[in-house]
Amino acid sequence: MQYTTLGRSGLQVSVAGLGCGGNSKLGLGTGHSEAHAVDIVRRALDLGISFIDTAQHYGTEAAVGKAIKDRARDSVVISTKLKVASRESGIASVAEVLAGLDRSLRVLGTDHVDVFCLHTVLPQEYDRVLAEIVPPLLREKEKGKFRFLGITEFAGRDPRHDMLARALSDDCWDVIMVAFHMLNQNARQRVFPATQAKNIGTLLMFAVRAIFSVPGRLQQDITELAAAGKVPKWLAEKKNPLDFLLHDQGARSIIEAAYRYARHEPGANVVLFGTGNPDHLAPNINAILQPPLPDADRQKLAALFGALEGVGLDEIIPRR
């Protein structure tokens, strides 16, 4: 495993982080037992993973808590998240947010989490979240309930990272979670310059989602993009539009290429991956640990797809 520093938090974390949400939810979302989910987390820890990302919304906090129960608490960095807004009720009350934090601590079986994130905040919600929710949360931080405060975007509904661009002008955020992948590169201009300048820790989501791992999905999306004039038409004529990445000096698979691409982006700290299949842990980790893609391949990805926005940001994750 390789380790890095999560921005100004100073936390030493694995560059590969186990994400506990998505469609699989450690297998809970595909019909597996909690014991199965606990086993996945434990196997990930045994493979050197030291960063675990969960959320109250995922329903996986209990499995994470059971998996870390027999581990030294300082050997694993736990990040959890709480939704503070919904389409039905608007912004949650302070009491609801603080109760949610306490609930996460109880379910995880710990007296603190390392990173506590406000989850999927939209641009139009940000000002109220900053004014109403952040001050009381920081008082909870002073009590030792969490060490660092984070915020995550709602990628599918905020493809230009407008919320994060706004949030990064404030100084309360230690960690952010951002969507970034080979066909969704605009965080390079919209997010990473500010996180690097302010030394904010970055968690990368969407490195591999349905667009790269569901058979036929990439070809379908490229065909639609070509029809709309957003990518060259010749790409739509290829069975594998990204086959230029597969060569002796390059990647062995598109999924490996996608993980390597995200891992070595300047400004990236932790690349999150999720799975409900324990057999996929080692291959995903090994892909993230591979060296950067060749410069020529990265340049071609930038030339072909650098102007795209909102591609491959659907919320459904393949069952892997």
Q: Tell me whether residue 58 is one of the annotated catalytic residues.
A: yes
CB 293, CB 31: distance < 8 Å: no
pLDDT on residue 86: 67
Q: Would you say the C-alpha torsion 55, 16, 192, 222 has a positive or negative sign?
A: negative
pLDDT on residue 59: 95
Report if residue 22 sits inside a domain: yes
Report if residue 153 sits inside a domain: yes
Average pLDDT, the chain: 94
Q: Label residue 27 left, alpha or beta by phi (over 0 means left) and psi (-120 to 50 means alpha).
A: left
Interacting residues of 205 by C-beta distance below 8 A, sequence separation 6+? 19, 152, 155, 177, 178, 179, 180, 272
> Is the pLDDT reported for residue 88 higher than 70?
no
Report if residue 97 sits inside a domain: yes
Report if residue 320 sits inside a domain: no
DSSP state of 132: I
Exposed, middle or buried by CB within 10 Å (0-12, 13-18, 19+), for 95?
exposed
CB 34, CB 28: distance < 8 Å: yes
What band does 319 get if pLDDT is binned at 50, 70 and 90? very low
Q: How many Å apart are CA 188 and CA 177, to the nearest integer?
A: 14
pLDDT on residue 320: 35
Tens digit of each residue's pLDDT (9 = 90 or more) over 205-249: 999 988 998 889 999 999 999 999 999 999 999 999 999 999 999
Q: How many Å apart are CA 270 and CA 2, to the nearest integer?
A: 10
State the residue range of the domain holding 101.
3-214+258-301
Interacting residues of 10 by C-beta distance below 8 A, sequence separation 6+? none
Give 77's strand partners: 51
> Is the pLDDT reported for residue 153 higher than 90?
yes
> Is the pLDDT reported for residue 309 higher than 90?
yes
Percent above pLDDT 70 for the chain: 97
Question: Which residue intervals of 47-116 are DSSP H helices?
Answer: 61-68, 94-108
Report if residue 44 sits inside a domain: yes
CB 56, CB 180: distance < 8 Å: no
Report if residue 8 sits inside a domain: yes
Other C-beta atoms lying within 10 Å of the C-beta of residue 306 = 13
Give 175's strand partners: 150, 201
Q: Which helix (H) or strand (E) holds 205?
A: strand 201-205
pTM listed for this prediction: 0.94
pLDDT on residue 318: 41
Domain count, the chain: 1
Q: Which of 58, 126, 259, 261 is catalytic?
A: 58
* CA-to-CA separations, 246 to 33, 35, 220, 232, 251, in angstroms, rounded: 37, 37, 20, 20, 5
> Is the pLDDT reported for residue 32 higher than 50?
yes
SS3 letters for 217-257? HHHHHHHHHHHCCCCCHHHHCCCCCCHHHECCCCECCHHHH
What band does 315 get if pLDDT is binned at 50, 70 and 90? low
The domain spanning residue 41 has which CATH number? Answer: 3.20.20.100
Percent above pLDDT 90 for the chain: 91
Report if residue 281 sits inside a domain: yes
Average pLDDT, stretch 136-156?
A: 97
Tens digit of each residue's pLDDT (9 = 90 or more) over 196-207: 999 999 999 999
